[in-house]
């Protein structure tokens, strides 16, 4: 499944994340995964949403500084060691993981989205979602 990650750069001051969240809410865009952090005077938000086309339009209309890229998804068995196995395999192939998101967690498995520096190599190295997912 193709998933789009947006990286948004905001001023590092109160209310910026709230304004971003409200922008998505007003456009009926649901957040599926998000991380937000600061780097000196800049806030950085990395987000995966349910409707990338609408999010793209909203962000452009708001004049927000944004980058976007395709990220990969995979489902890992919900048992100790599966994350270590997957990340070790990617590292051995020379793939750098820029971001990793938990999309869904259940007793059956852990669905992840990965932003990586080499999509093709990663596709051949990571576990793929089970049939029917």
Residue 130 vs residue 49, higher pLDDT: 49
Q: How high is the pLDDT of residue 1?
A: 63
Cβ–Cβ under 8 Å, residues 45 and 38: no
Q: Where in the chain is the domain with CATH 3.30.2130.10?
A: 3-70, 71-125
State the pTM of this model: 0.80
Q: What percent of the chain has pLDDT over 70?
A: 94
CATH class for the region spanning 3-70: alpha beta
120 by Cβ neighbours in 10 Å (0-12 / 13-18 / 19+) ranks as exposed
List pLDDT tens digits, range 88-130: 999 999 999 999 988 888 888 999 989 999 888 888 777 443 3
Top CATH class, 71-125: alpha beta
């Amino acid at each position: 499944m193709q998933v789009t990650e947006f990286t948004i750069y905001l001023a590092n001051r109160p209310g910026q994340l709230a304004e971003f969240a409200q922008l998505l809410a007003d456009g009926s865009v649901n957040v599926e995964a998000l991380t937000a952090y600061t780097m000196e005077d800049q806030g950085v938000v990395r987000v995966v949403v349910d409707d990338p086309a609408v999010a793209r339009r909203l962000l452009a209309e708001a004049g927000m500084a944004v980058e976007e890229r395709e990220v990969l998804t995979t489902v890992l068995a919900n048992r100790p060691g599966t994350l270590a196995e997957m990340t070790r395999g990617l590292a051995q192939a020379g793939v750098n993981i820029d971001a990793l998101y938990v999309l869904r967690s259940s007793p059956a498995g852990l669905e992840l989205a990965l932003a990586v520096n080499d999509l093709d190599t990663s596709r051949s190295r990571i576990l793929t979602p089970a049939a029917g997912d």
